[in-house]
Amino acid sequence: MKRIYLLSLLLGILSLSALAQSNVISERVEEEVEMRIPASELTRETMFHFNNINGDLNVEGYDGDEILITGKKIITGKPNVRRSFDPDDFYLDKISTNGHLFVFVRHPGLEVEIEENDLSYRSNKDNYWDENIQGFEFNLQMKVPRYLMSEISTINAGEVVVENMDHGVDAANINGSVIIRNVTGGIINAETVNGNVIAEFRDNPSDDVELHTVNGKIEVLASKNFSAHVTFKSLHGELYTDFDNRSYRSDRSNKKDGMSRFSIGSSDTIQFGQGGPNMLLRLLNGNAYIKQL
């Protein structure tokens, strides 16, 4: 699933971060956040998208039939721009269209469009991205019906954690880690730029898995009966595992600290157990680890 974060938004966020570090912030508001999406707005075919910008996201699948979102928003502002400091201008909003439910952070100057079932952000610089920007952060916990397909993302100042989902998940970050736990059915994608990707499988994945980071490590934790075809791609890293039931090219591995270390080419595949779904591990600067739980 593609994700469109326009350059104007990312540049604005970087400018906001630099502003917060270079100026004394004297106004700060913390408020509780709550959103309930009833079962009447969901079906078993609904694709749930949550797009955060700054802050942690913790998503837990459960046996209920509605989406419950709670947490805290933190709004900060410079003391000389009180006229534009309004915490109520930052809130959770939602759009539902074509079987897709989008929940996102609404803020001043934000323009949102749905393009090919993806959320597209645009920011109006004249009204928002200037020296009078306020800072905002949403740290949220979500209970989501475990049968839903979910796409969960944040950009800065937090990590993404998704657990106990039964229909696959697409989880993404830019500056922070992504953690997947006990996600079984459906395709699983987890990616970040600056951070680690950790995936824990108590049950063997039933569909393909793709894990990707640029600057960080990938860690897969699996049961002793783990079965998959693993492809490893890294420019500056290696793959380590403590699983013995695997097929590989023996002349290209050795032992280190009780774990087998692989230096393999971009097209090589290692079979764990009896094989099974495809698992792609992609890194640029970092190692990957496949360990027994």
Q: What digits encode the pLDDT tens for the residues 163-191? A: 999 999 999 999 999 999 999 889 999 99
Alpha helices in the chain (DSSP H): 7-22
Domain range for 5? 1-142
Greater model confidence, 128 or 242: 242
What pLDDT shows up at residue 10?
47
- Span 238-259, mean pLDDT? 71
Q: Is residue 209 part of a domain?
A: no
Q: Is residue 65 part of a domain?
A: yes
- Span 236-265, mean pLDDT? 69
Q: Is residue 153 part of a domain?
A: no
Contact of 182 with 199, CB cutoff 8 Å: no
What pLDDT shows up at residue 119?
85
Reference 232, options 205, 255, 208, 264; nearest CA is 264
- Span 92-120, mean pLDDT? 89
Reference 99, options 112, 110, 114, 113; nearest CA is 114
Reference 253, options 233, 270, 266; nearest CA is 270
- Span 14-24, mean pLDDT? 46
Q: What rounded mean pLDDT belongs to the chain?
A: 84
Q: Is residue 212 part of a domain?
A: no
Strands 246-247 and 269-272: antiparallel
What pLDDT shows up at residue 252?
46
Greater model confidence, 146 or 27: 146
What pLDDT shows up at residue 15?
45
* Predicted model pTM: 0.83
Q: Is residue 92 part of a domain?
A: yes
Contact of 182 with 163, CB cutoff 8 Å: yes
Percent of the chain, pLDDT > 90?
61
What pLDDT shows up at residue 273?
93
Number of domains in the chain: 1
Q: Is residue 200 part of a domain?
A: no
pLDDT digits (tens, 9 = 90+) for 205-242: 999 999 999 999 999 999 999 999 999 988 888 999 99
